[in-house]
Amino acid sequence: GIPPHELHARHRAVLPDWLALYYQRPLEITHGEGRHVWDAEGNRYLDLFGGVLTTMTAHALPEVTKAVSEQAERILHTSTLYLNRPMVDLAERIAALSGIPDARVFFTASGSEANDTALMLATAYRQSNQVLALRNSYHGRSFSAVGITGNRSWSPTSLSPFHTLYVHGGVRTRGPFAHLDDAEFTAACAEDLEDMLGQTRGSVAALIAEPVQGIGGFTAPPDGLLAAFREILQQHGILWISDEVQTGWGRTGDHFWGWQAHAAAGPPDMLTFAKGIGNGMSIGGVVARAEVMNCLDANSFSTFGGSPVTMAAGNANLTYLLEHDLQGNARRVGGLLLERLRAVSAGLGIVREVRGRGLMLGIELVLPGTEDPSPEAASIVLEETRAHGLLIGRAGGHSTNSVLRIAPPLTLTVAEAEEAATILERALRTAEI
């Protein structure tokens, strides 16, 4: 094959400048197996990012590969104009798992389209295009999803089909609420929401929120926050959309969905999903109460949503996930990894916090002795871990990009977690100097 630097030059000449690429010498990954991937030069890496939380079970999981190839041999695509057995199967299973009563499921090809659809449903149901979103949130790159995204560094346009009101409740680590404890933070955010609703003219359609902010830097709201929000929303008839694109399918260990960590809030009116369910095949979708899902007064369909080959992958992947209790594995191995990462970062000035649940862990880096984000330290750790055969992600509030993201396939073993912690310790120590 051609060397990676030549491919990089061709990539830069033909693809958009704004397409984010990791590493000074970008990686060309050619194959994977289990929790490992290989680059074009034959180097092996332990993959703790899984194609941005998408490789949910494992790379090249034989059960998924078999289901995809069997379906591919029969037919790749039919469209939603015809009955589609694997789509009905997966919809029934997701509806039953969703926790939403009288649930209906609509499949899309991405998380952005899923959020787009949820926003459209909320707008139609409530006859309003005013939406509440959290500061620092990320909901996708379609025009409406990017238009309500609170994280400014990912929202290239300030124009939007929605009038969005941004409330506090996502990130607490910076800004005016940085030093509040859980109860104070919850009260301040609820007050913020009430103030906003008091000043708003006309009705508001929905609040969309990630139960744990993903691109925002793996920050979770305190326990009572979403329940406090829900109470206020219900007084106004405002719908709650839980964006589970990163938090679904047992990733957080304790629960199958992120919203279940806030059980007092009750099930959301809608949840959106994507990423992990297809183990890399493009599946997104919305689950909504029938009353909300069926409020559209027009025919609609999605050409690629529910495509048989993606649905076959989704069914096989979900079966594997449930039969092997990968949520339980995420809780156990994630718990150990969190402890190890806290131990290896103790005493390091660049580490402000190690946080997360299950296999969704973040390490927030700062300039030693300050609370200022250090994207430079994050870059060093990223390069160092890569050099030692480990892939991780990064993200963070606004343009800080200073949180290391660890979100491996949920089959991660204890030995692999130990190996990852050792490599990360060395990389963090290099960045500390």
Q: Which is nearer to ligand PMP, 395 or 424 (CB)?
A: 395
Whole-angstrom distance, CA of residue 144 vs CA of residue 133: 12
| SS3 label, residue 58 | coil
Q: Which is nearer to ligand PMP, 20 or 159 (CB)?
A: 20
Q: Which residues contact 18 (CB under 8 A, 6 or more apart)?
A: 156
> Burial of 295 by CB count in 10 Å (0-12 exposed, 13-18 middle, 19+ buried)?
middle
Q: Which is nearer to ligand PMP, 54 or 345 (CB)?
A: 54
Shortest approach of ligand PMP to residue 201 CB, angstroms? 29
Q: Which is nearer to ligand PMP, 87 or 133 (CB)?
A: 133
Alpha-carbon torsion, ordered 272, 275, 278, 284, to 10 deg:
30
Look at strands 270-273 and 284-289 and give their pairing.
Answer: antiparallel
Shortest approach of ligand PMP to residue 75 CB, angstroms? 25
Whole-angstrom distance, CA of residue 413 vs CA of residue 65: 21
Shortest approach of ligand PMP to residue 213 CB, angstroms? 8
Give the residue nearest to ligand PMP (CB).
Answer: 111
Q: Which is nearer to ligand PMP, 172 or 275 (CB)?
A: 275
Q: Which is nearer to ligand PMP, 215 or 417 (CB)?
A: 215
Shortest approach of ligand PMP to residue 200 CB, angstroms? 24
Question: Would the CA dihedral through 197, 202, 203, 204 be positive or negative?
Answer: negative
The partner residues of 353 in beta bridges, in order of sequence, read 364
> Across the beta sheet with 163-167, what order do the strands follow?
103-108, 284-289, 270-273, 239-243, 206-209, 130-134, 163-167
Q: Which is nearer to ligand PMP, 144 or 345 (CB)?
A: 144
Q: Which is nearer to ligand PMP, 110 or 345 (CB)?
A: 110
**Among the listed residues 207, 218, 214, 115, the one whose alpha carbon sits nearest the alpha carbon of residue 168:** 207
Shortest approach of ligand PMP to residue 215 CB, angstroms? 6
Give the binding site for ligand PMP (CB under 6 A): 52, 110-112, 115, 138-140, 210, 214-215, 243, 245-246, 274, 284
Shortest approach of ligand PMP to residue 208 CB, angstroms? 9
Shortest approach of ligand PMP to residue 109 CB, angstroms? 8
**Among the listed residues 210, 243, 247, the one whose alpha carbon sits nearest the alpha carbon of residue 407:** 247
Shortest approach of ligand PMP to residue 242 CB, angstroms? 10
Q: Which is nearer to ligand PMP, 210 or 416 (CB)?
A: 210
| Phi (first) and psi of residue 63, to 5 degrees | -60, -40
CB 220 within 8 A of CB 357: yes
Q: Which two tokens stand for residue 280?
A: 């890399």
Q: Which two tokens stand for residue 147?
A: 């238009």
The partner residues of 366 in beta bridges, in order of sequence, read 373
| SS3 label, residue 395 | strand
Please state at what angle helix 225-236 crosses helix 182-199, rounded to 10 degrees: 20
Look at the block and give the residue holding tokens 């992958």. Answer: 313
Shortest approach of ligand PMP to residue 185 CB, angstroms? 21
